[in-house]
């Protein structure tokens, strides 16, 4: 009688120590055939020799999916249009990547007819929420294994994971030396751990930074930039038309060289705790700065006010992993409508961590020089303001009159009692 075919599990595979240890653990614990899936979002050097590492760890197959342009066009672009920033500073680099990874894991799981999907996110972080909400939204029938929350998972340190791999005959080039916990993609590089775990400590930027320099180490010279936007998205840098992913790469390079976008923040995680991280976000910082200059010129006051409110809500949805929700889709539709005329050219100067405005032009700009000047023109007569102020301030005036009336009545009543 032929042996029963093993069920398959698709593992979200990064090639790091955690997911390397998870492969033999899944085989030993659940007797699964492990199909590794790495979603390339721009990790670059982290993906070197990934196939060898996966094979050495016992994976039966490795999918390496290059989805950088899909990431840029379908996940980053909506966040640019929304001007989505979480808690004033965080530009959602990890957050916007996780739903795309979840989507690709589900696609591979369907292709392989897998019974389960496994991830290596810890039980304290945001990523477990993002991965699992994405998988549940797209494949509610597929089992999810969260290794770090699994009762069979006994490893609690790098040393334990390395020892476990060696016990399985897996000898890989990972050391027990502590290092930052990093997440890298086209949009950002995040750093957590080591001295950052204590908010009182100064970040060791010389040890930490991967593609950027600090403002102090940036060149003592100005770098001029010109960015063209169409419908809320950058389409050219210094007159050169490029696809969005290449624009981000170009601005990451020039921004990193000038110390732009190094952000040290404490954020409120979905699971309730605060965490500190340092983010290298040069390109996106430049894009968001330039995008804001255009919106200031083009959007009317009420649209701008509503967009700012919804931008914060949209950022929270993305941060919380609710990408595949009707509310995210509805809010995105609103942002796309607001961006129909957000077109123009923004000139900037980069200098030692600073982004300096150098002039903005927009064909749909609502800024009118004759209106903005102090002289009286055909469109605006200073005298017209009197009637406007009377009507606009009517509620305040009526309330003040009523308060005076009540006060006078009380004074008369008090006087009568005194007699």
pLDDT mean across residues, the chain: 93
Tell me: pLDDT of 5 over 80. yes
Tell me: pLDDT of 418 over 80. no
Task: Tell me: do 195 and 142 sit in the same domain.
Answer: no
Express each pLDDT in 167-188 by its tens digit: 988 877 766 565 788 999 999 9
Q: Is 182 exposed, middle or buried (0-12, 13-18, 19+ CB in 10 A)?
A: middle
**Domain residue limits at 197:** 188-299+342-367
CATH of the domain at 289: 3.90.1260.10
Task: Tell me: do 175 and 197 sit in the same domain.
Answer: no
Longest dimension (CA), the chain: 114
Q: Which of 139, 160, 180 is the last residue of a domain?
A: 180
Q: Which positions are annotated as active-site residues?
A: 18, 98, 127, 181
385 band by pLDDT with thresholds 50, 70 and 90: confident
Task: Tell me: do 211 and 353 sit in the same domain.
Answer: yes
User: For the chain, give me the number of helices (H) and strands (E)?
Assistant: 15, 14
Phi/psi of residue 358, nearest 5 degrees: -135, 25
Looking at the domain assignment, is residue 363 inside a domain? yes
Q: What CA–CA distance (Å, rounded) separates 60 from 54?
A: 8
Express each pLDDT in 252-275 by its tens digit: 999 999 999 999 999 999 999 999
Q: How many domains does the chain have?
A: 3
Partnered with residue 267 across adjacent β-strands are: 275
419 band by pLDDT with thresholds 50, 70 and 90: low
Express each pLDDT in 220-229 by its tens digit: 999 999 999 9
Please give the average per-residue pLDDT across 369-392, as a whole number.
71
Q: What CA–CA distance (Å, rounded) separates 350 from 211?
A: 16
Q: Which of 133, 152, 180 is the last residue of a domain?
A: 180
Looking at the domain assignment, is residue 146 inside a domain? yes
Task: Tell me: do 152 and 34 sit in the same domain.
Answer: yes
Tell me: pLDDT of 46 over 60. yes
* Residue % of the chain over a pLDDT of 70: 95
Tell me: pLDDT of 371 over 60. no
Looking at the domain assignment, is residue 85 inside a domain? no
Is the Cβ–Cβ distance between 271 and 124 less than 8 Å?
A: yes
């Amino acid at each position: 009688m032929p042996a029963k075919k093993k069920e398959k599990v698709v593992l979200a595979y990064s090639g790091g120590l955690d997911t390397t240890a998870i492969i033999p653990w899944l085989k030993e614990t659940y007797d699964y055939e492990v199909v590794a899936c790495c979603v390339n979002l721009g990790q670059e050097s982290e993906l070197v020799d990934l196939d060898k590492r996966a094979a050495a760890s016992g994976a039966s197959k490795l999918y390496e999916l290059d989805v950088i342009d899909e990431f840029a066009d379908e996940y980053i672009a909506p966040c640019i249009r929304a001007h989505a920033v979480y808690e004033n500073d965080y530009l959602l680099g990890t957050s916007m990547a996780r739903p795309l990874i979840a989507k690709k894991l589900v696609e591979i799981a369907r292709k392989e007819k897998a019974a389960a999907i496994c991830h290596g996110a810890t039980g304290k972080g945001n990523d477990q929420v993002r991965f699992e909400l994405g998988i549940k939204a797209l494949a509610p029938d597929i089992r999810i294994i969260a290794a770090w929350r699994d009762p069979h998972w006994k490893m609690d340190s790098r040393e334990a994971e390395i020892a476990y791999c060696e016990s399985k005959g897996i000898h890989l080039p990972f050391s027990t030396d502590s290092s930052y916990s990093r997440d890298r993609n086209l949009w950002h590089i995040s750093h957590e751990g080591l001295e950052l775990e204590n908010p009182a400590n100064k970040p060791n930027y010389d040890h930490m930074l991967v593609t950027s320099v600090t403002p102090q180490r940036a060149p003592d010279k100005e770098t001029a930039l010109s960015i063209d936007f169409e419908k809320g998205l950058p389409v050219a840098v210094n007159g050169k038309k490029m696809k969005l992913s290449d624009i981000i790469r170009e601005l990451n390079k020039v921004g990193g060289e000038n110390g732009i976008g190094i952000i040290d923040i404490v954020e409120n995680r979905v699971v309730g705790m605060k965490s500190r991280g340092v983010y290298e976000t040069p390109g996106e910082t430049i894009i968001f700065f330039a995008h804001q200059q255009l919106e200031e010129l083009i959007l009317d006051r009420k649209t701008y006010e509503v967009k700012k409110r919804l931008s914060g809500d949209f950022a929270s949805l993305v941060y919380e992993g609710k990408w595949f929700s009707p509310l995210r889709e509805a809010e995105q539709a609103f942002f796309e409508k607001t961006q129909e005329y957000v077109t123009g050219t923004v000139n900037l100067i980069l200098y030692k961590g600073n982004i300096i405005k150098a002039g903005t032009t927009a064909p749909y700009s609502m800024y009118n020089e004759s209106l903005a000047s102090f002289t009286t023109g055909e469109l605006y007569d200073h005298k017209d303001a009197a009637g406007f102020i009377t009507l606009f301030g009517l509620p305040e005036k009526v309330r003040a009159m009523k308060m005076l009336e009540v006060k006078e009545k009380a004074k008369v009543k008090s006087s009568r009692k005194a007699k």
